Amino acid sequence: MNRCPTCGTSYEDDARFCPRDGTRLLQRPGSPGAEPAAPAPGRNTSAVQRPDGAPRRGHGNLIGQTLDSRYEIVRKLGEGGMSFVYLGVDVATREQYAIKVLSAALSDDATAMARLKREASVGMRLAHPNICNIIRLGETEDGLVYVVMPFLQGEILSDRTNRLGHIPIEDVVRLVRQMAEGLHFAHQMKIVHRDLKPENIMVAKRPDGSEAAVVMDFGLAKERRADAELQKLTATGIILGTPEFMSPEQLRGKPLDPRTDVYSLAILTFEMLSGKLPFQGRTQQETMIARLRSDPTPIRQLRPELNIPEPVERVLQKALKRAPEERYQSTVDFAGALEGAVAGPQSDGSLLGRLFGR
Protein backbone atom coordinates (compact mmCIF):
# COMPACT_ATOMS: atom_id res chain seq x y z
CA MET A 1 0.00 0.00 0.00
CA ASN A 2 1.08 3.60 -0.70
CA ARG A 3 0.25 6.46 1.67
CA CYS A 4 -0.72 10.10 1.13
CA PRO A 5 1.51 12.31 3.33
CA THR A 6 -1.18 15.04 3.39
CA CYS A 7 -4.36 13.21 4.43
CA GLY A 8 -2.84 9.88 5.54
CA THR A 9 -5.08 7.76 3.28
CA SER A 10 -3.59 4.50 1.97
CA TYR A 11 -4.04 3.30 -1.61
CA GLU A 12 -3.20 0.28 -3.72
CA ASP A 13 0.35 -0.17 -4.98
CA ASP A 14 -0.39 1.08 -8.50
CA ALA A 15 -1.69 4.45 -7.26
CA ARG A 16 0.78 7.35 -7.52
CA PHE A 17 -1.27 10.38 -6.46
CA CYS A 18 -4.00 10.96 -3.89
CA PRO A 19 -7.33 11.57 -5.71
CA ARG A 20 -8.53 13.72 -2.78
CA ASP A 21 -5.82 16.38 -2.85
CA GLY A 22 -3.47 15.48 -5.71
CA THR A 23 -0.48 14.85 -3.40
CA ARG A 24 2.19 12.41 -4.57
CA LEU A 25 1.93 9.17 -2.59
CA LEU A 26 4.83 7.84 -0.56
CA GLN A 27 5.90 4.34 -1.50
CA ARG A 28 6.13 1.77 1.22
CA PRO A 29 8.61 -1.14 1.21
CA GLY A 30 7.51 -3.77 -1.26
CA SER A 31 5.60 -1.32 -3.47
CA PRO A 32 6.36 -1.20 -7.21
CA GLY A 33 9.35 1.07 -7.68
CA ALA A 34 10.61 0.50 -4.14
CA GLU A 35 13.88 -1.36 -3.81
CA PRO A 36 13.27 -5.11 -4.07
CA ALA A 37 15.11 -7.79 -2.20
CA ALA A 38 18.35 -9.10 -3.62
CA PRO A 39 18.11 -12.05 -6.03
CA ALA A 40 17.53 -15.36 -4.35
CA PRO A 41 20.64 -17.46 -3.57
CA GLY A 42 21.48 -19.92 -6.28
CA ARG A 43 19.89 -17.95 -9.09
CA ASN A 44 21.64 -18.62 -12.38
CA THR A 45 23.32 -15.29 -13.15
CA SER A 46 26.58 -14.59 -14.93
CA ALA A 47 29.17 -13.14 -12.58
CA VAL A 48 32.71 -11.84 -12.28
CA GLN A 49 35.62 -14.00 -11.17
CA ARG A 50 37.18 -12.61 -8.00
CA PRO A 51 40.86 -11.62 -8.39
CA ASP A 52 41.89 -14.00 -5.60
CA GLY A 53 40.31 -16.97 -7.35
CA ALA A 54 37.47 -17.31 -4.85
CA PRO A 55 34.06 -18.60 -6.06
CA ARG A 56 32.10 -16.37 -8.39
CA ARG A 57 29.51 -14.00 -7.00
CA GLY A 58 26.30 -12.85 -8.69
CA HIS A 59 25.35 -9.46 -10.09
CA GLY A 60 23.92 -8.39 -6.74
CA ASN A 61 27.15 -8.80 -4.78
CA LEU A 62 30.14 -7.37 -6.63
CA ILE A 63 31.63 -5.34 -3.77
CA GLY A 64 35.41 -5.62 -3.73
CA GLN A 65 35.64 -6.83 -7.31
CA THR A 66 37.03 -5.01 -10.35
CA LEU A 67 35.32 -4.78 -13.74
CA ASP A 68 37.60 -5.04 -16.77
CA SER A 69 40.62 -4.30 -14.57
CA ARG A 70 39.43 -0.71 -14.41
CA TYR A 71 36.43 -0.08 -12.13
CA GLU A 72 36.75 -1.16 -8.51
CA ILE A 73 33.31 -1.78 -6.96
CA VAL A 74 33.08 -0.02 -3.59
CA ARG A 75 29.45 -0.35 -2.46
CA LYS A 76 25.91 -0.87 -3.68
CA LEU A 77 23.86 2.29 -4.28
CA GLY A 78 20.56 0.65 -5.18
CA GLU A 79 18.86 -2.05 -7.16
CA GLY A 80 15.85 -2.65 -9.33
CA GLY A 81 14.18 -5.59 -10.95
CA MET A 82 16.63 -5.77 -13.83
CA SER A 83 19.82 -4.08 -12.64
CA PHE A 84 22.06 -3.18 -9.72
CA VAL A 85 23.76 0.20 -9.27
CA TYR A 86 27.15 0.41 -7.58
CA LEU A 87 29.63 3.07 -6.62
CA GLY A 88 32.80 2.36 -8.58
CA VAL A 89 36.25 3.93 -8.56
CA ASP A 90 38.57 4.14 -11.55
CA VAL A 91 41.70 2.33 -10.38
CA ALA A 92 43.95 4.69 -12.35
CA THR A 93 42.40 8.11 -11.71
CA ARG A 94 40.48 7.33 -8.46
CA GLU A 95 37.45 9.14 -9.90
CA GLN A 96 34.07 7.93 -8.65
CA TYR A 97 31.35 6.66 -10.97
CA ALA A 98 27.88 5.15 -10.75
CA ILE A 99 27.94 1.77 -12.46
CA LYS A 100 24.70 0.06 -13.46
CA VAL A 101 25.14 -3.70 -13.83
CA LEU A 102 22.44 -5.44 -15.82
CA SER A 103 20.85 -8.69 -14.70
CA ALA A 104 21.56 -11.87 -16.66
CA ALA A 105 17.96 -11.95 -17.89
CA LEU A 106 18.29 -8.48 -19.38
CA SER A 107 21.74 -9.19 -20.81
CA ASP A 108 20.36 -12.24 -22.63
CA ASP A 109 17.39 -10.34 -24.06
CA ALA A 110 18.27 -9.27 -27.61
CA THR A 111 15.53 -6.62 -27.78
CA ALA A 112 16.51 -5.15 -24.40
CA MET A 113 20.16 -5.03 -25.41
CA ALA A 114 19.27 -3.28 -28.66
CA ARG A 115 17.44 -0.62 -26.64
CA LEU A 116 20.36 -0.34 -24.22
CA LYS A 117 22.84 0.19 -27.04
CA ARG A 118 20.58 2.89 -28.46
CA GLU A 119 20.32 4.49 -25.01
CA ALA A 120 24.10 4.41 -24.66
CA SER A 121 24.67 5.91 -28.09
CA VAL A 122 22.29 8.75 -27.19
CA GLY A 123 23.59 9.17 -23.64
CA MET A 124 27.24 9.37 -24.62
CA ARG A 125 26.46 12.42 -26.77
CA LEU A 126 24.81 14.33 -23.93
CA ALA A 127 27.81 15.70 -22.06
CA HIS A 128 26.34 18.73 -20.25
CA PRO A 129 26.53 19.96 -16.61
CA ASN A 130 22.77 19.50 -16.21
CA ILE A 131 22.54 16.02 -17.76
CA CYS A 132 23.66 12.72 -16.24
CA ASN A 133 25.19 11.32 -19.40
CA ILE A 134 26.42 7.82 -20.13
CA ILE A 135 30.19 7.61 -20.18
CA ARG A 136 30.68 4.03 -21.29
CA LEU A 137 28.83 0.82 -22.11
CA GLY A 138 31.00 -2.17 -21.25
CA GLU A 139 30.88 -5.96 -21.19
CA THR A 140 33.26 -8.26 -19.33
CA GLU A 141 34.73 -11.42 -20.84
CA ASP A 142 32.16 -13.58 -19.07
CA GLY A 143 29.21 -11.55 -20.36
CA LEU A 144 28.45 -9.09 -17.55
CA VAL A 145 27.05 -5.91 -19.12
CA TYR A 146 27.43 -2.57 -17.35
CA VAL A 147 26.88 1.15 -17.90
CA VAL A 148 29.20 3.81 -16.45
CA MET A 149 27.72 7.20 -15.48
CA PRO A 150 28.80 10.18 -13.35
CA PHE A 151 28.33 9.63 -9.62
CA LEU A 152 25.94 12.26 -8.29
CA GLN A 153 25.45 13.03 -4.61
CA GLY A 154 22.30 14.84 -3.64
CA GLU A 155 18.55 14.41 -3.39
CA ILE A 156 15.99 13.19 -5.89
CA LEU A 157 13.60 16.03 -6.70
CA SER A 158 10.51 13.97 -5.82
CA ASP A 159 11.98 13.30 -2.37
CA ARG A 160 12.65 17.00 -1.82
CA THR A 161 9.13 18.02 -2.84
CA ASN A 162 7.59 15.34 -0.61
CA ARG A 163 9.83 16.34 2.29
CA LEU A 164 9.12 20.07 2.05
CA GLY A 165 5.53 19.95 0.77
CA HIS A 166 6.45 22.56 -1.83
CA ILE A 167 9.70 24.25 -2.85
CA PRO A 168 10.33 28.01 -2.39
CA ILE A 169 9.73 29.91 -5.59
CA GLU A 170 13.28 31.28 -5.83
CA ASP A 171 14.66 27.74 -5.70
CA VAL A 172 12.11 26.59 -8.27
CA VAL A 173 13.19 29.31 -10.73
CA ARG A 174 16.83 28.29 -10.36
CA LEU A 175 16.15 24.56 -10.73
CA VAL A 176 13.89 25.10 -13.75
CA ARG A 177 16.55 27.17 -15.48
CA GLN A 178 19.12 24.41 -14.96
CA MET A 179 16.79 21.67 -16.18
CA ALA A 180 15.82 23.81 -19.16
CA GLU A 181 19.44 24.30 -20.15
CA GLY A 182 20.14 20.56 -20.05
CA LEU A 183 17.01 19.71 -22.02
CA HIS A 184 17.70 22.46 -24.56
CA PHE A 185 21.15 20.98 -25.15
CA ALA A 186 19.54 17.60 -25.91
CA HIS A 187 16.91 19.21 -28.11
CA GLN A 188 19.58 20.92 -30.19
CA MET A 189 20.93 17.43 -30.87
CA LYS A 190 17.44 16.33 -32.01
CA ILE A 191 16.84 14.31 -28.81
CA VAL A 192 13.59 14.50 -26.82
CA HIS A 193 13.58 13.12 -23.28
CA ARG A 194 9.90 11.96 -23.24
CA ASP A 195 9.92 10.86 -19.58
CA LEU A 196 10.63 14.00 -17.60
CA LYS A 197 9.42 13.57 -14.00
CA PRO A 198 10.66 14.40 -10.47
CA GLU A 199 12.13 10.91 -10.03
CA ASN A 200 14.39 11.61 -13.02
CA ILE A 201 15.85 14.82 -11.59
CA MET A 202 18.72 14.87 -9.11
CA VAL A 203 19.38 17.99 -7.06
CA ALA A 204 23.11 17.34 -6.96
CA LYS A 205 25.77 18.83 -4.73
CA ARG A 206 28.56 20.62 -6.54
CA PRO A 207 32.16 20.58 -5.24
CA ASP A 208 31.73 24.19 -4.05
CA GLY A 209 28.69 23.22 -1.96
CA SER A 210 26.08 24.72 -4.27
CA GLU A 211 23.28 22.67 -5.84
CA ALA A 212 22.37 21.98 -9.45
CA ALA A 213 19.47 20.15 -11.08
CA VAL A 214 20.66 17.26 -13.24
CA VAL A 215 18.33 15.51 -15.69
CA MET A 216 18.76 11.75 -15.55
CA ASP A 217 17.54 8.65 -17.35
CA PHE A 218 17.40 9.40 -21.04
CA GLY A 219 16.48 5.73 -21.47
CA LEU A 220 13.24 6.66 -23.26
CA ALA A 221 14.91 9.51 -25.09
CA LYS A 222 14.10 9.48 -28.76
CA GLU A 223 15.93 11.00 -31.65
CA ARG A 224 13.41 12.96 -33.67
CA ARG A 225 14.71 11.33 -36.85
CA ALA A 226 13.68 7.84 -35.75
CA ASP A 227 14.41 4.92 -38.05
CA ALA A 228 12.39 1.76 -38.63
CA GLU A 229 14.41 -0.24 -36.09
CA LEU A 230 13.72 2.29 -33.34
CA GLN A 231 10.04 2.31 -34.20
CA LYS A 232 9.96 -1.47 -33.80
CA LEU A 233 11.72 -1.26 -30.44
CA THR A 234 9.16 1.18 -29.01
CA ALA A 235 6.33 -1.15 -30.20
CA THR A 236 3.38 0.22 -32.13
CA GLY A 237 0.50 1.15 -29.85
CA ILE A 238 2.54 1.19 -26.63
CA ILE A 239 2.94 4.59 -24.97
CA LEU A 240 6.28 4.97 -23.22
CA GLY A 241 6.66 7.43 -20.36
CA THR A 242 5.09 8.32 -17.02
CA PRO A 243 1.37 9.15 -17.51
CA GLU A 244 1.13 11.91 -14.87
CA PHE A 245 3.71 14.05 -16.68
CA MET A 246 3.01 13.18 -20.31
CA SER A 247 1.86 15.75 -22.84
CA PRO A 248 -1.50 15.41 -24.63
CA GLU A 249 0.25 14.56 -27.89
CA GLN A 250 2.22 11.83 -26.15
CA LEU A 251 -0.96 10.38 -24.65
CA ARG A 252 -2.43 10.32 -28.15
CA GLY A 253 0.65 8.62 -29.59
CA LYS A 254 1.41 11.56 -31.88
CA PRO A 255 4.88 12.57 -33.16
CA LEU A 256 6.89 14.36 -30.48
CA ASP A 257 9.25 17.32 -30.50
CA PRO A 258 10.87 19.50 -27.79
CA ARG A 259 7.52 21.06 -26.91
CA THR A 260 6.45 17.81 -25.24
CA ASP A 261 9.34 18.28 -22.78
CA VAL A 262 8.20 21.90 -22.28
CA TYR A 263 4.80 20.57 -21.19
CA SER A 264 6.29 17.98 -18.83
CA LEU A 265 8.66 20.58 -17.37
CA ALA A 266 5.67 22.84 -16.72
CA ILE A 267 3.83 20.08 -14.82
CA LEU A 268 6.98 19.41 -12.85
CA THR A 269 7.28 23.15 -12.08
CA PHE A 270 3.63 23.30 -10.99
CA GLU A 271 4.22 20.41 -8.58
CA MET A 272 7.40 21.96 -7.16
CA LEU A 273 5.60 25.23 -6.48
CA SER A 274 2.41 23.74 -5.00
CA GLY A 275 3.07 20.13 -4.02
CA LYS A 276 0.12 19.18 -6.25
CA LEU A 277 -0.65 18.38 -9.87
CA PRO A 278 -2.57 20.70 -12.22
CA PHE A 279 -4.97 17.96 -13.36
CA GLN A 280 -7.12 16.09 -10.86
CA GLY A 281 -8.93 12.78 -11.12
CA ARG A 282 -10.03 9.82 -9.05
CA THR A 283 -8.03 7.44 -11.24
CA GLN A 284 -5.03 7.65 -13.51
CA GLN A 285 -7.35 7.35 -16.51
CA GLU A 286 -9.37 10.36 -15.33
CA THR A 287 -6.27 12.52 -14.96
CA MET A 288 -5.15 11.49 -18.45
CA ILE A 289 -8.55 12.37 -19.92
CA ALA A 290 -8.45 15.72 -18.10
CA ARG A 291 -5.24 16.61 -19.91
CA LEU A 292 -6.84 15.79 -23.23
CA ARG A 293 -10.10 17.69 -22.65
CA SER A 294 -9.75 20.18 -19.80
CA ASP A 295 -7.67 23.18 -18.82
CA PRO A 296 -5.30 22.85 -15.85
CA THR A 297 -6.49 24.01 -12.44
CA PRO A 298 -4.99 27.48 -11.80
CA ILE A 299 -2.21 27.14 -9.26
CA ARG A 300 -3.44 30.14 -7.25
CA GLN A 301 -6.85 28.49 -6.95
CA LEU A 302 -5.34 25.18 -5.84
CA ARG A 303 -2.99 26.72 -3.25
CA PRO A 304 -4.19 30.30 -2.52
CA GLU A 305 -2.31 30.38 0.79
CA LEU A 306 1.05 30.28 -1.01
CA ASN A 307 0.52 33.71 -2.62
CA ILE A 308 2.05 32.68 -5.93
CA PRO A 309 2.27 35.74 -8.22
CA GLU A 310 -0.37 35.96 -10.93
CA PRO A 311 2.27 36.31 -13.71
CA VAL A 312 3.66 32.92 -12.68
CA GLU A 313 0.19 31.42 -13.07
CA ARG A 314 -0.08 32.90 -16.57
CA VAL A 315 3.29 31.41 -17.55
CA LEU A 316 2.22 27.96 -16.33
CA GLN A 317 -1.13 28.19 -18.11
CA LYS A 318 0.61 28.96 -21.40
CA ALA A 319 3.18 26.17 -20.98
CA LEU A 320 0.34 23.71 -20.32
CA LYS A 321 -1.67 24.47 -23.46
CA ARG A 322 -2.99 21.33 -25.12
CA ALA A 323 -1.82 22.44 -28.56
CA PRO A 324 2.01 22.43 -28.81
CA GLU A 325 2.04 25.52 -31.05
CA GLU A 326 0.37 27.54 -28.28
CA ARG A 327 3.05 26.73 -25.68
CA TYR A 328 6.53 28.17 -25.25
CA GLN A 329 8.50 26.71 -28.12
CA SER A 330 11.60 25.77 -26.12
CA THR A 331 12.47 24.94 -22.54
CA VAL A 332 14.74 27.99 -22.26
CA ASP A 333 11.87 30.22 -23.43
CA PHE A 334 9.73 28.78 -20.64
CA ALA A 335 12.50 29.22 -18.06
CA GLY A 336 13.03 32.83 -19.16
CA ALA A 337 9.32 33.60 -18.91
CA LEU A 338 9.20 32.09 -15.43
CA GLU A 339 12.19 34.17 -14.33
CA GLY A 340 10.55 37.33 -15.62
CA ALA A 341 7.23 36.50 -13.94
CA VAL A 342 8.92 35.99 -10.58
CA ALA A 343 11.11 39.10 -10.86
CA GLY A 344 8.16 41.26 -11.91
CA PRO A 345 8.03 44.18 -14.40
CA GLN A 346 9.29 46.69 -11.83
CA SER A 347 12.21 44.54 -10.73
CA ASP A 348 15.71 45.94 -10.99
CA GLY A 349 16.99 42.45 -11.65
CA SER A 350 18.29 41.93 -8.13
CA LEU A 351 16.41 38.64 -7.70
CA LEU A 352 17.76 37.20 -10.92
CA GLY A 353 21.19 38.51 -10.04
CA ARG A 354 21.12 36.64 -6.75
CA LEU A 355 19.89 33.49 -8.45
CA PHE A 356 22.20 33.41 -11.45
CA GLY A 357 25.12 35.63 -10.56
CA ARG A 358 24.10 38.40 -12.95
- Mean pLDDT, rounded, for 43-58: 42
Q: What is the pLDDT of residues 193-203, one digit of tens each?
A: 988 999 999 99
Reply yes or no on whether the pLDDT at 87 is more than 90.
yes
Asked whether the beta carbons of 139 and 324 are under 8 A apart, the reply is no
> Higher pLDDT residue, 107 or 187?
187
- Pick the most confident of 39-53, 111-125, 292-306: 292-306
- CATH number listed for the domain at residues 66-150: 3.30.200.20
Question: Which sign, positive or negative, has the C-alpha torsion 226, 228, 231, 233?
Answer: negative
Q: How many CA atoms lie within 13 A of 78 on its CB side?
A: 8
pLDDT of residue 258: 96
- Mean pLDDT, rounded, for 96-118: 83
Q: pLDDT band at residue 8, thresholds of 50, 70 and 90?
A: low
Reply yes or no on whether the pLDDT at 146 is more than 50.
yes
Percent of the chain with pLDDT over 90: 50
Percent of the chain with pLDDT over 70: 72
pLDDT of residue 24: 65
Q: pLDDT band at residue 21, thresholds of 50, 70 and 90?
A: low
- CATH 3.30.200.20 location in the chain: 66-150
Q: What is the pLDDT of residues 149-182, one digit of tens each?
A: 999 999 999 999 999 999 999 999 999 999 999 9
pLDDT of residue 264: 96
> Higher pLDDT residue, 339 or 356?
339
> Higher pLDDT residue, 122 or 317?
317
Reply yes or no on whether the pLDDT at 102 is more than 80.
yes
Reply yes or no on whether the pLDDT at 319 is more than 70.
yes
- CATH 1.10.510.10 location in the chain: 154-356
Chain-centroid distance, C-alpha 71 = 25
pLDDT of residue 73: 95
Reported pTM: 0.75
Which run of H or of E encompasses 324?
none
Asked whether the beta carbons of 145 and 138 are under 8 A apart, the reply is yes
Is 21 assigned a catalytic role? no
Asked whether the beta carbons of 299 and 144 are under 8 A apart, the reply is no
CB-neighbour burial class of residue 267 (10 A; exposed 0-12, middle 13-18, buried 19+): buried
d(CA 120, CA 137): 6
Reply yes or no on whether the pLDDT at 338 is more than 90.
yes
- Mean pLDDT, rounded, for 51-60: 49
Compute the mean pLDDT over every residue in the chain, rounded to the nearest whole number: 80
pLDDT of residue 119: 76
Reply yes or no on whether the pLDDT at 260 is more than 80.
yes
Residue in 90, 195, 217, 227 annotated catalytic: 195
> Higher pLDDT residue, 103 or 223?
103
d(CA 345, CA 118): 45
pLDDT of residue 337: 98
- Superfamily the domain 154-356 falls into: Transferase(Phosphotransferase) domain 1 (1.10.510.10)
Reply yes or no on whether the pLDDT at 349 is more than 60.
no
> Higher pLDDT residue, 60 or 342?
342
